[in-house]
Structure 1
Amino acid sequence: MNTTRTARATRAKIAATAAALAAGALMLTACGGSSGGSDSSLDGTYYIKDVNGTSELGQLVVKGNTVSHHEYTCDGVYEEPDVTSTGEFNKDQTQIIWTVAGDDSRNERTGTESISTSDNTSISINGNAYVRDNSDAGKALLDAFKAKCAK
């Protein structure tokens, strides 16, 4: 038996089990009725330009511990997004655990990603800053996107 292949398979099984346990723990926390570390001041809509190199606009919607990520091109910003995935914050809101990946093969929102926040005006995912829609930066980004798409 090839021990390298066995070790890889064992590590993969351990990682999958850990991810399933983490997701189950988050679901139980969400069902508990308390905020479970949720910072409702993060609730809102955030945007980023040229997300993942696959779409012109990325949208992050936060509602309690639930996060949804949408990617848009000029053709679909007010309709169905090209790419959608959903996830949840971990207990201390330092990571997003993506639980449902979109069907689009360009979707890079899988697994767990590190986040940080700045004065409730932005959320950075792996160093990429999403700005709140009603902030000056958010308004400027959306205005530029609308102008680009109007051409």
Structure 2
Amino acid sequence: MSITRTARRTRAEIAVSIAALAAGSLILTACGGSDGSSDRASKLDGTYYIKDVNGTSELGQLVVKGNAVSHHEYTCDGVYEKPGVTSTGEFNKDQSQIIWTVAGEDSRNKRTGSEPVSTSDTSISISGSPYVRDDSDAGKALLGGFKAECQK
């Protein structure tokens, strides 16, 4: 009879231990942080511009929403209308590259494959070409200058 009580007690202790381990692992999983990529992406959300994109006199616009990226090119006649060239892509996990998933149909489009990226608070550089945030001083000056040239 004492063996039966010992076996029951041992099984009960094992069950309690397993339950405690399971609860502990759930708590640790819930407290675990993310890899930070979505935090970095949300900080980059916005609209960025570059003048003379791809060696043309066109305005390049980069729109970032999370990890999704769209790139548009505008002529003077098309600013804030339908862009002449559009490409879409996404950042890789560590945001060191943009992987272009849909290239625009225009033959001038050079947005294919992947390109290296570096970022700061006010700019995103793609393959060494800096796009400045639209609400930064540099972005406001760039847009103002482009609009002035278009009005000539």
Q: TM-score, normalising length from structure 2?
A: 0.74
**2:47 matched residue in structure 1:** 45
Q: Which amino acid is the alignment partner of residue 133 of structure 1?
A: D
Structure 2 distance, partners of 1:85, 1:54, is 17
Structure 1 unaligned segments of length 5 or more: list them: 1-33
Q: Which has the larger radius of gyration?
A: 2
User: Greater helix share, 1 or 2?
Assistant: 2
In 2, Cα distance between the equivalents of 1:63 and 1:95? 15
Equivalent residue letter for 1:84: T
> In structure 2, what residue type is equivalent to 1:37?
S
Matched with 1:76 is 78
Match of 1:29 in 2: none
- 1:55 and 1:147 map into 2 onto residues whose CA distance is 13
1:35 CA displacement: 8.6
Number of positions where the alignment pairs a residue of Structure 1 with one of Structure 2: 117
Report the counterpart of residue 103 of structure 1 in structure 2.
105
- 1:1-151 map, 5 Å: 37-38=37-38, 39=40, 40-118=42-120, 120-151=121-152
Supply the RMSD in Å over aligned alpha carbons: 1.4
Cα shift at 1:37:
1.5
Corresponding residue of 1:12: none
CA contact (8 A) 1:96 1:114 kept: yes
Bigger drift between 124-133 and 34-43 goes to 34-43
For structure 2, the 5+ residue unaligned runs are 1-33
Displacement of 1:56 after TM fit? 1.7
Identity level (%):
81
* 1:42-94 residue CA offsets vs partner (Å, 9 max, x unmatched): 00000001000134210000000000000011010121101100000000000
